[in-house]
Structure 1
């Protein structure tokens, strides 16, 4: 029920959410991600998980000429992205996290970008999802994810479910994975949204 109510919120508030987030300066996060990319593997192929408005996918595809597949469970986000950024520049797909295993993506991507998207998944379900995502990466591929910093699960005033992650919970999560990453890096950042004080935890996993 928690994930259904979360999706319902984004479907009912698609335009408002896009308006609130379209002007956020993501440059520092893009830079961290790009610096970690495995360029020795050749041309980069990126999977944007929970792409929202498509802002980040468009950046990687247009500014960096990378091949990008972008997925989101909200078809209205995908509709917006195709209309606003172009249907051909990115492979836009309406797809839920549960359907990732059904795609022919084993070891297909060099990197995964999961910015503020996995935080809507219950902690107990994160190991299975992360294993599914890591299985789509080539050897030496990376996965970037960001979570609100904390140690609890909660439902906000809009009915959205959040799973907060801190350093201890992340270590517990990683230790439970089948696809154990070779290494990982974490760092904390401030909220980039105006008038928001929420601290964030960022992680890059390398296979």
Structure 2
């Protein structure tokens, strides 16, 4: 994550956590969780407010969660029964094939286009052979900076499909959904099951 985006999340952690906790992403859970047995281990990449980790834990899953912002992690840790860790993408150092599912909801979108395949390949090494992977980006084409100074890598369906396939994820499902304020999100779901 770039410095300006990290500074935004550190400075606005409480407000950001409150806003994102209320978002209904059950349609994404419904796509992801049926492929994982209860008790499976999920890596929540860029866990933000802890909303998704908490949902997974409440459904009976084991979760490891991290985010690059210390202040966001502090917010997440106020609601989670586990301790989320402060970690940047390039600091990830998990055991190979240790997770049944990887959930990267609105987190990889702060990478540069040349960083994205590196991190996606790295995440693949942490996923079990029969694992499940999910990630999401805002619909668009290329890098942009918002009014708060946050950097976003927006993706088209075709562009995201191409990146994932180049990283060894074949047979992926790419779909869009509406988000807050009329934004459209591009999502990837992949399972080798």
Whether TM-score is above 0.5 comes out as yes
Aligned positions of 1:147-186 closer than 5 A: 147-177=137-167, 180-186=168-174
Cα distance, 1:206 vs. partner? Answer: 2.7
Q: Secondary structure at the match of 2:182?
A: coil
- Superposition CA RMSD, Å: 1.5
Separation (CA, whole Å) in 2 of partners of 1:84 and 1:144: 23
What's the counterpart of residue 15 of structure 2? 16
What's the counterpart of residue 48 of structure 2? 52
Separation (CA, whole Å) in 2 of partners of 1:73 and 1:146: 17
Q: Deviations over 1:4-23 (max 9, x none)?
A: 11001100111111122111
Cα distance, 1:83 vs. partner? Answer: 2.1
**Residue pair 2:67, 2:88 contacting (<8 A) in 1 also:** yes
What's the counterpart of residue 36 of structure 1? 35
Separation (CA, whole Å) in 2 of partners of 1:34 and 1:151: 29
Among 39, 63, 86, the alignment partner of 1:94 is 86
Separation (CA, whole Å) in 1 of partners of 2:140 and 2:15: 26
What's the counterpart of residue 204 of structure 1? 189
Q: Deviations over 1:125-175 (max 9, x none)?
A: 100000010110001101100110111210111000000111221133124
**Residue pair 2:136, 2:187 contacting (<8 A) in 1 also:** yes
TM-score by length of 2: 0.93
Name structure 1 gaps, 5 residues minimum.
none
Instruction: Count the aligned residue pairs.
Output: 192
Name structure 2 gaps, 5 residues minimum.
none
**Residue pair 2:17, 2:75 contacting (<8 A) in 1 also:** no
Q: 1:18 to 1:187 in 2, by over 3 A?
A: same
Cα distance, 1:106 vs. partner? Answer: 0.6
**Residue pair 1:67, 1:90 contacting (<8 A) in 2 also:** no
What's the counterpart of residue 79 of structure 2? 84
Separation (CA, whole Å) in 2 of partners of 1:171 and 1:22: 29
1:107 aligns with 2:107: no
Separation (CA, whole Å) in 1 of partners of 2:47 and 2:154: 19
1:189 aligns with 2:151: no
Greater Cα offset, 23-32 or 49-58: 23-32
